[in-house]
Amino acid sequence: MRLEAAELRILELPLKFRFETSFGVQTKRTILLLRLFGEGLEGLGEGVMERLPLYREETVVSARYLLEEVFLPQVLGKDFPNPEALSQALAPFRGNPMAKAVLEMAFWDLFAKGLGKPLWQVLGGVRQAVEVGVSLGIQPTVADTLKAVERHLSEGYRRIKLKIKPGWDYEVLKAVRQAFPEATLTADANSAYRLSDFPRLKRLDELFLDYIEQPLGHDDLLDHARLQREIATPICLDESLTSAEKARKAMELMAGRVFNIKPARLGGHGESLKVHALAQSAGIPLWMGGMLEAGVGRAHNLHLATLPAFTKPGDVSSASRYWEEDIVEEALEAEEGLMPVPEGPGIGVHLKLPLVERITLWQRYMSAS
């Protein structure tokens, strides 16, 4: 596949809800959108980095800089036989997996379109619908939380994940567990605790959570391994898993019993396939994470989540939960907690160009010569 041109945009899309986590409050997404052109086809990629480095270190502007000045000039005008070859061209540049993933994932879309196949088939998926849950932000009160949990369970979501932080953890989770004894319940701390909070985390064992997500440092493995030896609740790693190498080390240390996969955090689909293979051989269950994606990122995540080791419900909820209007034509909606994977070649979704134009804050077109 010869890469002929690229269009990079920054969009702003308001969220329908205020999303509070241990690291801050989000009310809108600032989205880096890449359209990659080659052989008469178009591939799409969506950045998940935020304006500020509160989740991982990358930001919208750091990724824009790398794509504009380094990665796209490196690949435009060249012919790559497969996604692995494109990744090799980016490999000398260290880190920055989210910036690389925008390009790598757009290339997978283009590559699958070149083969005339849906992306899930090219990636090796084994199903055409994905089990999904919801990630609920920190609510003003416990009563608000109970209402939100009830509503989403009645909509059919198969797992409820609550964002927690010190001072908003045991009590709210206990209230939800008492009201919904059968619900599959998890908690996500986004690195808000230290190893010295161990007694507080140990108490959560009473509540039969399916797992607790990333309680400790955003780059840590060792303390998670220490904590996992002390608590019964399985630890799920999110922030710390930025590559297959990190996943291998996490497995060796036994830093977590469950992995959250976000292809954007890992540098793209290729690296995610490597983590999938490792997890599958070790029997570690996977689930698809989310970064409040718009339609392009959500579609990519759905295709990847069709692989066999994704055995727990993902954070891929209906697009209408997040947006008044999504940036793609296709409605990505779950029914009874099952989300169908878009059909057609590649990721199977198409941009609503007039809407994209309206919400564009910045854009640049780059061609091969």
Secondary structure letter of residue 40 according to DSSP: T
**Number of neighbouring beta carbons within 10 Å of residue 156:** 13
Give yes or no: 262 in active site.
yes
Q: Residue 138 CB, nearest distance to Mg ion (Å)? A: 13
100 classed as catalytic: no
**Dist CA 181 CA 183 (whole Å):** 6
Q: Which stretch binds ligand OSB (CB under 6 A): 28-36, 115-123, 217-225, 283-291?
A: 283-291
Give the Cα separation of 329 and 224 in Å (integer).
42
Among positions 198-227, residues that touch ligand OSB (CB under 6 A) are none
Instruction: Catalog residues that contact Mg ion under the rule CB under 5 A.
Output: 188, 213, 238
Q: Exposed e or buried b for every residue in 22-46, given b needs 16+ CB within 10 A? A: bbeebeebbbbbbbbbbeebbbbbb
Radius of gyration for the alpha carbons in the chain, expressed in angstroms and rounded: 20
Question: Could you tell me if 98 and 63 are in contact, meaning their C-beta atoms sit under 8 angstroms apart?
Answer: yes
Handedness of CA 292, 294, 295, 300 (dihedral sign): negative
- State the binding string over 183-202 for ligand OSB (x if CB under 6 A, else -): -----x-x------------
DSSP state letters, 69-108: IIIHHHHTT-B-SSHHHHHHHHTTS-S-HHHHHHHHHHHH
Distance in Å, CB of 72 to ligand OSB, minimum: 26
Q: Which does 111 bind (CB under 5 to 8 A by kind): ligand OSB, Mg ion, none?
A: none
Residue 317 interacts, among ligand OSB, Mg ion, none and using kind-specific CB cut-offs from 5 to 8 Å, with ligand OSB
241 binds, among Mg ion, ligand OSB, none (CB under 5 to 8 A by kind): none
* Residue with smallest beta-carbon separation from Mg ion: 238
Size of the site for ligand OSB (CB under 6 A): 11
Contact (Cβ atoms closer than 8 angstroms) between residue 306 and residue 127: yes
Kindly tell me which of 104 and 238 has the beta carbon lying closer to ligand OSB: 238
Q: Which of 6, 36, 55, 330 is close enough to bind ligand OSB by CB under 6 A? A: 55
* Interaction partner, residue 290 (Mg ion, ligand OSB, none; CB < 5-8 Å by kind): ligand OSB
From 100, 113, 161, 262, the catalytic residue? 262
Q: From the candidates 161, 163, 165, 202, give the one annotated as an active-site residue.
A: 163
Instruction: Confirm or reject binding of residue 130 to ligand OSB (CB under 6 A).
Output: no
d(CA 53, CA 252): 29
CA-CA-CA-CA dihedral for 45, 160, 229, 289, to nearest 10: 0
Q: Determine if 131 is a binding residue for ligand OSB (CB under 6 A).
A: no
Binding site for ligand OSB (CB under 6 A): 55, 135, 188, 190, 238, 289-292, 315, 317
- Positions annotated as catalytic residues are 163, 262
